[in-house]
Amino acid sequence: MRTFAASFLLLLIGMGSATAQPAGPYVSGHVGASGGDGGGALIAGAAVGYMSPHRLAFELEIGVSPDVDFRPPPFAILTIFPAPTFESTGRLLWLQTNAIVTVVDAGKLRAAVVAGGGIVNVRRETSYSYAFAAPFFTFTGAPLPTIPISYLPPPSSTYTTIESALSLNAGGIVDYALTRRLRVGVDARYMHGFFSDPWKTARVAGRVQWQF
């Protein structure tokens, strides 16, 4: 029984080493969806990396979510009735360096853990609009003093902010070798942006990798 178990283990090791992903540079791309802060959003990106002979890879990755819904700004204009309405949208750009460690490499199937960090940039456009209720009256029925029109904010406006922060990501990759150079699979990550109001999201994407 021990001899059979040892032989089976050696067979698996030999099979994994014989079909392991070859060392060298590679490029990859991913398209998928993210969910978390901001709700669901499309995310896409690409990476360039190098796989070492020891099943350890390093890569530089860029990803973008072009249309994200952000939370309303943390303030309100209490002196205006009815209260203004806010809409905040924009895009997220992730630039990260990742380390990928292969934990299973059997046959054409590979499973790996990935973690890294870098910078995330957010471009946000916030719009507000409101309508005045006229005339305003006090509880005694007397009209409020007239407010000069120059003191009133415009009925609608849009302003843009750009901010960058450190980021971290961690997750896993499972892929399958269609050929010696081409692999397809799934990439799942948790991603965190260290803004003053932290941004937390998870992504699941289809991944294609080409080995040179």
Q: What's the per-residue H, E or C state across the chain?
A: CHHHHHHHHHHHHHHHHHHCCCCEEEEEEEEEEEEECCCCEEEEEEEEEEECCCCEEEEEEEEEEEEEECCCCCCCCCCCCCCCEEEEEEEEEEEEEEEEEEEEEECCEEEEEEEEEEEEEEEEEEEEECCCCCCCECCCCCECCCCCHHHCCCCEEEEEEEEEEEEEEEEEEEEEECCCCEEEEEEEEEEEECCCCCEEEEEEEEEEEEEC
Nearest to 116 by CA among 167, 158, 65: 167
Q: How far apart are the first and last CA of the chain?
A: 43
- pLDDT, residue 154, reads 60
pLDDT by residue for the chain (212 residues), tens only, comes to 554 344 434 434 444 444 456 789 999 999 999 998 888 899 999 999 999 988 899 999 999 999 888 876 655 444 455 566 777 888 999 999 999 999 998 889 999 999 999 999 999 888 777 655 444 444 444 454 544 444 455 666 777 889 999 999 999 999 999 999 999 999 999 999 999 889 999 999 999 999 99
- pLDDT, residue 134, reads 45
Structural domains in the chain, sorted by start: 22-61+84-211 (2.40.160.20)
Read off the tokens for 156: 């609608």
